[in-house]
Structure 1
Amino acid sequence: MNFHKSFQTIDTQVVGEAFRIIVQSPIMLMHEDILEADHQLNTQFEDTKQQLLNEPRGHRGMNGCLVLPSAIASYRLLFFQHAASTSFKYEALVATLTALIEQGTVELSKNNTYSIETVKGVYEANAKLSEKRDAVLSVHLILKPAYLEGEQVIIDNERRYMVVEKPRQIKAIVLEELAEISTWGLLESEKYSTADGIIMYEQLDGSVRSVTFERDGYILRSPGVDSTLALIAVLGEEAVKKNDSIFDSSIEIIQKHEAGYEIALTGYITGIHQFVVDREDPLQHGFIIV
C-alpha cells in the first residue's frame, strides 16, 4: 500500500438524498470573496472531487459540501457535485447545519437561528433542538415561491424544471413501476435537455407523489425542495401541501409567510469516514453508473 491522499468526511442524508461534508482533504481555499473561492473549487481539484464523489467511495447520488469560516454568517458553504446535478440544493443547508451542531463545531445560537453564506446569498435557518441541545430535531427554512416561464418552472430565477403529469402507461408512481418510470425519465431528459430536471407527478388525496430526474436521467433520491416548489407553481398551494417521493420520504409545507413557504426537514448523520487513495489503485479516480 502506498497512500498519497487521505480524506475525512461526515456523511448525512436529508429525506433520502446523500451529502458528504468534507472535514479534511487536499482542497485548500484561502479567498475572502466567496465567488472567488467557489470559482477555484469548481475549476480546480478535479482529481480530489472525483475521488470523493465517484464510486467506490461515493456514487451518482452523492453531493459534496465544503464548510468554511465566514466573516458575515455562522459559516460559509460551497458545493461540488456531479456534472448533471444542480449546483445548489436547499437540502445541503439542512445537512451541514445538522452535522455542525451535532458534532459541536459551530457555536450554539441563543435563539436557534443560524446564517449560512453561499454563492446564492446568505440564508437563515432555524434549528429545533432536543431538550439537551445536542441533537437537531429539524431545520426550518423559508423559501421564495417558484414561477412559470413558458412551459418551464423557474426556481430562484435560475434553475429550470419541466413538470409533467404521470403518463397513462405507468400505473402509479411506486417502486413496482420503477423500471418503466426510469425508462420514461431517460427519454424525457433527452427531450428537454435545457431543463435542470424533469418532475413526474400524480395527485393523491391532499398530497402529491412525484419523482424527479436530473439532467442525465438519474432519479433524485428525495421528493426535492426544488421539485416541491415547482409543483406548487403548477398545481397550486392547496394541491401540494405535501410532496411524497417514490421512496416514502416527504416534504410538507408548514405554513406560508409573506416571504415564501416554510418547510421543516431533518438531517441524519450516516457515517464519519476516513478515505485513502493508493497510488497503485487502477480505479483511484473512480467511476459512475447511472
Structure 2
Amino acid sequence: MNFKRMINVVGVHAAGERNDVITGGVLDVPGNTIFDKMKYLETQADDIRKMLLQEPRGSVTQCVNLVLPSSNPEADAGFVIMESEFYPPMSGTNTICTVTALLETGMIPMQEPVTRLTLEAPGGLVRVEAQCKDGKCVSVKFSNVPCFVFALDKFIEVPGLGTLKVDVSYGGMIYVLADAQALGFSISPDEAADLVSVGENIKAAAAEQVPAVHPENPEIHTINQTLFAGPVRDDPEGKRSRNGVIVSPGRLDRSPCGTGTSARLAVMHARGQIKPGERLIHESIIGTEFIGEIAETLTIGDRQGIRPNITGSAWITGFHQYVLDRTDPFPTGFTLSDTWRKNK
C-alpha cells in the first residue's frame, strides 16, 4: 500500500439527505472555537472537503461532517459541516446525522430512553435531545441557533422572471424564500430540474440586491440558499407545508431541511402565522418530514427573532475507508458541469 491519507467515515442520511460523518483519520484543526476551525479548513485545508465530496470519491448530492474536540466547557464535541461549495455555520440534517453517528457508534455514550448532549457548531451551541431505544437513535430534536428575519415582502428583479416578491431570513444559513405556488410549482419530484434552475437564478439576484450580514458575526453574510415555500395548511398536529431548498452548485435538498425550516419559522412568526409551541410539519420534495416549533423568542443584535426546535431521524447506511494513493492524479478530486452546475 502507498497511501498518503486514510479517512474513516460513517455513511448517514436524514430524511433522504446524505450527510456522512468523519470519525477517524483527522486529529484536530487549529482554532479556539469551532467557527475558527471551520475558517481554517476553508482557507488552509480545503483539500479534505474536496477529497471526500468531489469526484471520483464523492458526489454533488452529499455533505460531510468533521467531528472535532470543542474547547467550550458546555459542549460534548464540535463539528464542522462541509457542503459541495460551502462551509455553512449550521445545518439541521447534518446535526441529526452527526448525533446519530456519535451515539450509534459509541463515540458518545447512549442513554436510553433519552440522551441529552450539546454540540458546538460553527454557528454556536446546539442542545440535543435524542430519543433512543435498543441501541438505536430513533429521533433527534435539536435547539437551533437564534434565527431571525432580514426582510419581508422584498421586491427583487430576477432575469427571466421579472419582479419577484421574496422574504430573506437566517435559520443557520441565510435564505431567500419564494412563493412556490406563485411561480407555478407544487414542489413535486418531476419539477426538480426546473426548481434548481429557477432557484439558482433567484438566489443570485437576491444575493446581489438584498445585502444580509449577521448582526453578531459579520463573517456570516450573503444569501446562499433558495427556499420554495408551499402553501400552509392546517393539520391535526399544527401547521403543515411542503418546501424545496436549492443547494449550490445546483441541486435539491432531499430532506425538509432543518435550517430552511428554521428560516421559514422565523418568517411565519414575524407575520403572526405561528405561535411558540405550535408545530410546523415541514415536508420535503420526496415526502419526508421534519417537525419544527418555536421554543422561545429572543433578540439578536437589534433584531427580534426565535430559537426553533427541529426534530427528525437519521439512518446509518455504511462504513467507509477513503484512501488517497500517493500516485493518484486526483488528490482533491474534480468537478464537471454536467452535474456540478455553475452559478449564473
Using structure 1 for the length normalisation, give the TM-score: 0.85
Distance of aligned partners of 1:179 and 1:69 in 2 relative to their CA distance in 1, 3 Å threshold:
closer
Which residue of the other structure, out of 260, 263, 269, is the alignment partner of 1:230? 263
Deviation at 1:97, TM superposition (A): 1.4
Distance in 2 separating the partners of 1:173 and 1:86: 24
* Contact 1:7/1:276 (<8 A) preserved: yes
1:241 aligns with 2:280: yes
Counterpart CA distance in 1 for 2:145 and 2:67 is: 24
| Partner SS state of residue 251, structure 2 | coil
Task: Show CA shifts across 1:222-244 (max 9, x none).
Answer: 21112212223334227972111
| CA separation of 1:43 and 1:203: change in aligned 2, threshold 3 A | same
What is the CA deviation profile of residues 166-215 of structure 1, one whole-angstrom value per residue up to 9, with x for unaligned ones? 25563521112223323222322332234121111221533211111135
Aligned to 2:149: 148
What residue in structure 2 maps to residue 285 of structure 1?
332
Match of 2:79 in 1: 77
Residue 50 of structure 1 aligns with which residue? 50
Write the deviation string for residues 254-273 of structure 1: whole angstroms up to 9, x where unpaired: x5433543332111111110
> Does the CA contact (< 8 Å) of 2:115 and 2:129 recur in 1?
yes
Between the aligned partners of 1:144 and 1:10, the Cα distance in structure 2 is 25
- Given candidates 166, 186, 196, the residue that maps to 2:200 is 186
Quick check: 1:64–1:81 contact (8 Å CA) kept in 2?
A: yes
Would the aligned equivalents of 2:177 and 2:227 in 1 still touch at CA under 8 Å? yes
Q: How far 1:277 moved relative to its partner?
A: 1.9
Report the Cα distance in structure 1 between the residues aligned to 2:174 and 2:70, rounded to whole angstroms.
29
Q: CA deviation at 1:108?
A: 3.3
CA contact (8 A) 2:8 2:25 kept: yes
Give the alignment's Cα RMSD to 1 decimal. Answer: 2.8
Alignment CA distance shift 1:9-1:201 (3 Å): same
Partner residue of 1:269 out of 313, 316, 319:
316
2:204 and 2:8 mapped to 1: Cα distance?
Answer: 37
* 1:262 partner SS: strand
Instruction: Give 1:86's aligned amino acid.
Output: P
For each residue in 1:109-137, what CA deviation from the matched residue of structure 2 results, as whole angstroms up to 9, or x when unmatched? 5862111123333221011110x3x1111
Cα distance in 2, alignment partners of residues 33 and 223 from structure 1: 29
Which one scores higher on RCO, CA 8 angstroms, separation ≥ 6? Answer: 1
- Letter aligned with residue 37 of structure 2: A
Task: Tell me how far apart the structure 1 counterparts of residues 46 and 310 of structure 2 sit (CA, whole Å).
Answer: 34
Output the CA distance in 2 between the equivalents of 1:216 and 1:125: 30
What is the match of residue 67 of structure 2? 67
Indicate conservation of the 8 Å contact 1:189/1:217, yes or no. no
Matched, 1:250 2:255: no
CA drift of 1:30 comes to 5.9
* Partner Cα distance (2:89, 2:125) in 1: 16
For residues 74 and 281 of structure 1, do their structure 2 counterparts lie closer, same or farther at Cα, with a shift above 3 Å needed?
A: same
Q: Distance in 2 between matches of 1:39 and 1:208?
A: 35
1:94 partner letter: I
Distance 1:27 1:230 in 2: 33
Work out the CA distance in 1 between the residues paired with 2:324 and 2:35.
30
Deviation at 1:32, TM superposition (A): 5.5
Residue 28 and residue 117 in structure 1: after superposition, are their counterparts in 2 closer, same or farther (change >3 A)? closer
- Counterparts of 2:145 and 2:6, CA distance in 1: 39
Distance in structure 2 (CA, Å) of the matches to 1:116 and 1:162: 27
Cα distance in 2, alignment partners of residues 82 and 179 from structure 1: 18
Q: Percent identity?
A: 23
The match for 2:177 is: 163
Q: Is the 8 A contact 1:69 1:75 kept in 2?
A: yes
Aligned residues between the structures? 286
TM-score (norm 2): 0.73
- Pick closer, same or farther for the CA change 1:272–1:172 going to 2, 3 Å: same
Q: Distance in 2 between matches of 1:35 and 1:182?
A: 29
Distance between the aligned counterparts of 2:206 and 2:323, measured in 1?
39
Q: Structure 2 residue aligned with 1:200, among 222, 228, 242?
A: 228
Q: Any unmatched runs of 5+ in structure 1?
A: none
The one-letter code of the counterpart of 1:80 is M
**Partner residue in 1 for 2:109:** 107
Distance 1:181 1:70 in 2: 38
Judged with a 3 Å threshold, the aligned counterparts in structure 2 of structure 1 residues 203 and 167 are, in CA distance, closer, same or farther, namely closer
Once the two structures are TM-superposed, the CA of residue 285 in structure 1 deviates from its matched residue by: 2.3
Larger CA deviation: 78-87 vs 17-26: 78-87
In the other structure, the counterpart of 1:39 is 39
**How far 1:95 moved relative to its partner?**
1.2
